[in-house]
């Protein structure tokens, strides 16, 4: 980050523009970008190839729920890899990384679905979904629940990758 001086002498931190990819998008590229990917693509659709690994499971810890459910609540998301992993490493991401995404309403695509799992797909996605404006989040654990500030919930949802379409890539 660079610094700039305001007229009153206070230092203002200025974010540098991210270096966005210009070539073919891949899961490793998106993994490396992390949340910066949302700054590169915003609400515009983009495509990339990905492996939908076939594993199911629920993690422990605190429970995050919210509205709208498909974007911010208990509805399941998907995990995507850029390559196959050895059977003994199933459920563990490859060294090249993984990405997580949510499914837009009407999109059927699940790590638990044997008809699409363990296959490569062409994925169409975007960030900054219009439904983000309505996001509200609640964290729950054994001690109770906490409502997140609405502005933070909206920001979290805007950074969430939303899958809008998938197409199998049988030749991969």
pLDDT > 60? residue 147: yes
Question: Could you state, in order of their start, the residue ranges of all structural domains in the chain?
Answer: 22-59+74-129+157-168
In this model, does residue 8 exceed pLDDT 70? no
Mean pLDDT over all residues of the chain? 86
Report pLDDT for 15: 63
Residues 127-141: what's their mean pLDDT? 92
Banded model confidence at residue 64, pLDDT cuts 50, 70, 90: confident
CATH number corresponding to 22-59+74-129+157-168? 2.40.50
| 66-105 pLDDT, tens digit each | 899 999 888 889 999 999 888 777 778 898 999 999 999 9
Confidence band (pLDDT; 50, 70, 90) for 2? very low
14 or 50: which carries more pLDDT confidence?
50
Query: DSSP letters along the chain, please?
Result: -EEEE-TTS-EEEEPPPP----S--BHHHHHHHGGGHHHHHTTS-EEEEEEE--------S-EEEEESHHHHSSS--EEEESS---GGGTTS--TT-EEEEEEPTT----TT-TTTTTEEEEEEEESS-GGGGG-EEEEEETTEEEEPPHHHHHHHHHTS-EEEEEEE-TT-
Q: If pLDDT is split at 50, 70 and 90, which confidence band does 9 have?
A: low
How do residues 17-48 score in pLDDT, each as one tens digit?
788 999 899 999 999 999 899 999 989 999 99
């Amino acid at each position: 980050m660079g610094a700039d001086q305001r007229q009153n002498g206070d230092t203002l931190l200025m974010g540098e523009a991210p270096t966005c990819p210009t070539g073919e998008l891949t899961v490793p590229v998106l993994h490396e970008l992390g949340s910066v990917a949302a700054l590169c693509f915003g609400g515009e659709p983009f495509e990339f190839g990905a492996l939908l690994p076939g594993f199911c499971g629920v993690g422990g810890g605190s429970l995050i729920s919210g509205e709208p459910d498909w974007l911010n609540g208990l509805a399941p998301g998907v995990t995507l890899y850029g390559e196959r992993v050895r059977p003994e490493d199933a459920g563990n991401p490859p060294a090249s990384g993984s990405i997580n995404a949510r499914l837009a309403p009407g999109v059927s695509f699940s790590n638990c679905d044997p008809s699409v799992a363990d296959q490569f797909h062409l994925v169409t996605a975007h960030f900054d979904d219009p439904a983000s404006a309505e996001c509200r989040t609640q964290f729950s654990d054994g001690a109770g629940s906490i409502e997140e500030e609405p502005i933070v919930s909206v920001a979290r949802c805007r950074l969430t990758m939303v899958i809008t379409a998938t197409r199998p890539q049988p030749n991969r």
